Structure 1
Amino acid sequence: MVVNGISSSSQSLIPIFTGEKYEFWSIKMKTLFKSQGVWELVEEGFVDQASSNEEVEKLKKIKKKDAKALCFIQQAVHDTIFSRIAAATTSSQAWKILKKEFQGSAKVITVKLQTYRREFETLSMKSNESIQTYLSRVSSLVNQMKSYGEDISEEIVVAKVLRSLTPKFEHVVVAIEESHDLWVVFEEEDVKEVKEEVEIEEDQMKRNKIGYFCAITAESQVIRKLIVVKSRRMKITKQVLQKKMTMRILDSGCSNHMSEIRSLFKELDESKKSDVRLGDNKKIQVEGRGTVRIRTSQGNAKILEDVMFVPSLSHNLLSIRQLMISGYSISFDDGFCTIRSKKSGQTIATVPMTNNKMFPLEVSMVEKCAMVASSDNDTRLWH
């Protein structure tokens, strides 16, 4: 049934605005307008002017479509709100009245966006929070930002989620970041394969009547399996993942060693939070300081003290300044960075520069230079 050009199915889909959660209501209304082909009229309005018979006929059709859009808006607000738009003669007028009152002026929108941006920057997963709940929080905040005109890409959202998961999901972050395609989406076939594997395991457990306590939650197990499935297809080997853990980028701009991998910390004082700037003047959030213990390919332990925990980093950073204070000389020549002991003159490591002008130092490179054999204090060289 059609009433005033509006089908009964369309009427049933109209969300009612009561004065709360305008941002969500406006998103629903935009979708409705687009489905009816009237969004451009609502957003931009129209010029009520015609100079020829042809233009007069065209204007009549436009006005009819606009009346349809205005009818949508009028039906989509509660009686307590309707008085605000009762005098509006076009859909654009009514829409702008509601937008100005409930979304705010340009200044108000700017302030709200700044608040949402800060909230997005500091957003992190709670220790007892499920993946689904956390993603819902992220999605809700992103939608609020978009409703205020923020242009935030899917890549930025994915990157934020990856670096703000709790430590038990670090395998997810490592696997995806080390893949050739950072913005991996778990496709339907991946989920299907994982579901089949989980069902097989559960069936085996039931047949064997095995009961045990598993420290890894079912949710974590499923995500781990998704990574395994995707890793098979993308040929992410164990060696590649391990490289992430042992790789350090030599950085002349940072005053302290830094790591983004929480599980590397033997001890971590999360009360020592601060803001620091890197050499490129980028400001980052430090979520704590502690001691990192690294085991080399030879089985020897290396300890880094006063290491900053910075979840937003994409690589671990070794501070050149801190190395020099600790008794090492650093020289750069012909695309190589050479680290030497000032005391013995021994070359600790020679690091070649990569194509993107970074100096990645692997613990195994230091090991090859017989660093461990030089003195009793070598286990604490990076302090």
Structure 2
Amino acid sequence: MFFYWSSQYKIDHFPPSSTRMTNRKQLIQLGPSLTRLHQIKMRTLLLLLLFCHVSSPVKHSLKFFFTASVGVPNLPELVSAMMVDGVQTGYCDSNRNMRPTQNWVKRILRADRQQVDWYRTECFQSQPNFFRDTMRGLMHLLNQTGGVHILQRMSGCEWDEETGEVVGSMVFGYDGEDFISLDMKTLTWTALKPQAVTAKLRWDADTARINHNDNYLTKVCPEWLKKYVDYGRSVLLRTELPSVSLLQKTPSSPVSCLATGFYPHRASLVWRKDGEELHEEVDHGEILPNHDRTFQILVDLNLSSVTPEDWTRYDCVFQLSGVKEEIITKLEKDRIRTNWGKTVSSKNIEKEEPSKVTILVIVILVLIAVVLIATIVFIVYKKKKAQPNTSTEESMALKKKRKG
């Protein structure tokens, strides 16, 4: 659930969902860049933000993601994000920053000052104290005296709008790995790795805290979620279809099928051969967020053992949850966008398109030329400006000499 992430193709922003956690390069406005070591550690910060449990159209989720850190400079001790149905709706940190990120959430908070007070207390007092104490306790249990360490928590609830069923959840991650989770049926903690067994025994003894979590996850959280869905229905329940492209880095690279710009994140993208879904020679990417609050997904197809004559037997199929129509893209060479010079439109009209590297080189050369020209002009100007003065001085000297 708590894993590091990388991808060949990525477009920016937040936040999809899945049962395991991956990462994105943004640190939700967390400030100055970190050292390479810190960047590797801090990639876990957005693992949580990128995933909520995948659900059907009638299911909704409210998730809170907290990330505490030690040994990382220029970063708040604790950062948190709230998400409804995979959409980031709020952010806060221990530096006393708190802001809703959706207009409909702002309307809720204006009408319900009690929630505002609750969020302030949680973000600025209760949770920083809790995570500070918990981090200290875990480092002691694991015999850690220093270094960079990350403690994360994902908690929240899911509500089935059709059946009324509510499911709460709470899981902790430590240094990028699953650590311990709350079993909502037995109301006991489950150690997710051997190092968490001692923590489980201690946490099981704190029944007051367990009961508090149970009450919040199964009663308070669902009531808030219902209100959020009601206010944000026009945003949360919209559907947007993607554009689908075929990409290839080099002639020997796999062909990637990229679907981007879809919403919601409940979608599938597969390669088929003769109408049958492929499971071998296929590498599925995660659903990732775009900067405009839509999503993208990419699936690679290895064609090393496929003859050019058989390419027409393959196609890439995108399916958005709740939408009957599929988007089918046939594997045809003139549809593939490459990194070595040419792209082809969906109408099979070929045109030249310089690569990003080529454009960058051209821009740099132009800038260098501009600087050189400006330097030459400046030098010529200085020389011309100096010449009249010199000639004037010489003529005056000659006149004096003649008079003498």
The two structures have a TM-score, normalised by structure 1, of 0.24
Structure with the larger RCO, 1 or 2 (CA within 8 Å, 6+ apart): 2
More strand by share: 2
More helix by share: 1
